[in-house]
């Protein structure tokens, strides 16, 4: 039985209930004095507690896919990079300027140490800036890391605008997860050095704009305007302070877990802003839960809004957007594998899809680090560079 299979969980639940029943039944027989009755009582308590804890741990792991297989639980991970497979044919030197509108402000609270970049000057190794991004329409100020490639600081590129990847963490993780655990700046730097990726600005954000609530990149009726933040405020703020592309062809979104869901939702709902998206272990629809609260309001309009955030429903019932997407999953260990297959089967022109399907993986950073390098390579091929000249 697989580590995340329901049959294993049900079996362990049965064993736990059996252990509790046996303990209750045997307890009077173990009530005597002496070493054997005492050892019997201790043994029955220990076995019962272990069985109950096993149920709890298996249920938590099954819900979150921290370990997808027995081998991963024992520390045996395959760390080789994933391979991108096309599903559909696709062949048919200035830093933050706080004065320009004040939409990007330097932040001292977020450390940019240990980002994985090599030592050296900015025009040789690039840089990561810690900033606060001001959303005029969504009325929020959010933390962000901005990775600037070495070319951004080189004289021959001083009049060029760079493509942009908006990288979104999972919930409840913050932007530190993108730099420390997913290692985006380090990986991008290595790919640039190996000429496997074009010079790209990468902004790292969290998916919620109203923590601790999980806003899921949704414009909540009467509440946080998360989709507006990502589709209007983020591009406006970055263009006000950095030399980044003004055309949509230079922009893409990517993320892991709920951040991957967010990236797909943004691309398919707002293709004129993000015509490319890479989603690592994403879901394909957004639903209300304890962390989100009511995202869609009330009445019949709420049901329609929820349907429109179901990406498979959109592919079957609404005009298909002209976007390119990359999705990832694992045959063993990822609970989204079957939904990923359904999503890929529903994709049709003018939309194009590619995939990374691992034989074995889990809902954790060990798996996502195998996917981030090929995902960045794939994304780089979707974005146009150089962009228009900065006058």
User: What are the CA-CA distances from residue 64 to residues 58, 68, 143, 198 (Å)?
Assistant: 10, 9, 26, 35
Q: Is the dihedral of CA 376, 380, 386, 391 positive or negative?
A: negative
d(CA 107, CA 302) in angstroms, rounded, equals: 38
User: What are the CA-CA distances from residue 154 to residues 121, 122, 162, 303 (Å)?
Assistant: 11, 9, 13, 51
Is the Cβ–Cβ distance between 198 and 209 less than 8 Å? no
pLDDT per residue of the chain (391 residues) written in tens, 0 to 9: 666 667 777 888 888 888 888 888 877 877 777 778 778 788 888 888 888 888 888 777 665 545 555 655 655 544 455 555 556 554 443 344 434 448 998 876 555 665 778 888 999 999 999 999 999 999 999 999 999 999 999 999 999 999 999 999 999 888 989 998 999 999 999 999 999 999 999 999 999 999 889 999 999 999 999 999 999 999 999 999 999 999 999 999 999 999 999 999 999 999 999 999 999 999 999 999 999 999 999 888 999 999 999 999 999 999 999 999 999 999 988 889 999 999 999 999 999 999 999 998 888 999 999 999 999 999 999 998 876 666 5
Helix (H, G, I), strand (E, B) or coil at 300: helix
Is the Cβ–Cβ distance between 316 and 346 less than 8 Å? yes
- Looking at residue 258, what is its pLDDT? 94
200 C-beta neighbours (distance < 10 Å), count: 26
Give the pairing type, strands 104-106 and 85-86.
unpaired
Look up the pTM and report it. Answer: 0.76
Q: Where are the beta strands (DSSP E) in 169-232?
A: 201-205
d(CA 252, CA 203) in angstroms, rounded, equals: 11
CATH code of 73-382, in short, is 3.40.50.1820
d(CA 148, CA 200) in angstroms, rounded, equals: 7
- Looking at residue 358, what is its pLDDT? 94
Give the pairing type, strands 140-148 and 164-168.
unpaired
Alpha helices in 27-144 (DSSP H): 35-64, 70-73, 122-125
Tell me the CB-side half-sphere exposure of residue 123, using CA atoms within 13 A.
8
- Looking at residue 27, what is its pLDDT? 79
d(CA 206, CA 167) in angstroms, rounded, equals: 8
If 0-12 CB within 10 Å is exposed, 13-18 middle and 19+ buried, where does residue 121 land?
A: exposed
CA dihedral 271, 186, 365, 262 (to 10 degrees): -20
Alpha helices in 65-183 (DSSP H): 70-73, 122-125, 175-176
d(CA 180, CA 182) in angstroms, rounded, equals: 6
DSSP 160: B
- Looking at residue 389, what is its pLDDT? 65
DSSP 157: G
- Looking at residue 108, what is its pLDDT? 62
Question: Can you give 81-98 as a three-state secondary structure string?
Answer: CCCCEECCCCCCCCCCCC
- Looking at residue 47, what is its pLDDT? 86
- Measured at the CA of 298, the angle between CA 140 and CA 225, to 5 degrees, comes to 15
Task: Give the DSSP H or E segment for 277.
Answer: strand 276-280
């Amino acid at each position: 039985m697989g580590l995340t299979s329901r049959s294993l969980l049900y079996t362990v639940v049965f064993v736990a209930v059996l252990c509790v029943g046996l303990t209750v039944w045997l307890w009077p027989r173990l009530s005597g004095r002496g070493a054997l009755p005492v050892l019997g009582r201790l043994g029955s308590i220990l076995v019962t507690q272990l069985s109950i804890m096993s149920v709890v741990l298996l249920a938590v792991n099954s819900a979150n896919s921290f370990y997808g297989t027995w081998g991963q639980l024992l520390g045996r991970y395959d760390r080789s990079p994933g391979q991108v497979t096309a599903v559909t044919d696709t062949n048919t030197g200035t830093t933050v300027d706080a004065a320009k509108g004040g939409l990007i402000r330097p932040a001292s609270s977020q450390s940019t140490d240990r980002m994985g970049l090599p030592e050296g000057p900015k025009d040789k190794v690039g840089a990561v800036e810690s900033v606060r991004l001001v959303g005029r329409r969504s009325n929020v100020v959010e933390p962000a890391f901005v990775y600037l490639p070495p070319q951004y600081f080189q004289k021959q590129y001083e009049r060029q605008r760079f493509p942009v990847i908006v990288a979104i963490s999972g919930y409840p993780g913050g932007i530190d997860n993108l730099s420390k655990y997913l290692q985006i700046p380090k990986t991008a730097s290595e790919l640039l050095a190996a000429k496997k990726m074009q010079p790209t600005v990468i902004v790292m954000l969290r998916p919620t704009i109203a923590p601790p609530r999980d806003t899921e990149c949704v414009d909540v009726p009467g509440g946080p305007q998360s989709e507006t933040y990502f589709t209007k405020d983020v591009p406006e703020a970055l263009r006000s302070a950095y030399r980044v592309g003004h055309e949509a062809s230079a922009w893409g979104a990517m993320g892991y877990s709920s951040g991957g869901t967010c990236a797909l939702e943004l691309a398919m709902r707002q293709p004129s802003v993000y015509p490319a998206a890479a989603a690592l272990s994403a879901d394909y629809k957004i639903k209300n839960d304890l962390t989100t609260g009511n995202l869609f309001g009330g009445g019949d309009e709420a049901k329609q809004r929820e349907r429109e955030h179901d990406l498979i429903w959109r592919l079957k019932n609404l005009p298909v957007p002209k976007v390119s997407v990359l999705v990832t999953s694992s045959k063993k260990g990822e609970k989204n594998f079957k939904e990923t297959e359904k999503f890929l089967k529903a994709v049709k022109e003018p939309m194009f899809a590619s995939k990374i399907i691992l034989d074995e993986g889990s809902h954790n950073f060990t798996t996502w680090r195998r996917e981030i390098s090929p995902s960045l390579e794939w994304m780089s091929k979707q974005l146009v560079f150089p962009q228009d000249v900065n006058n």
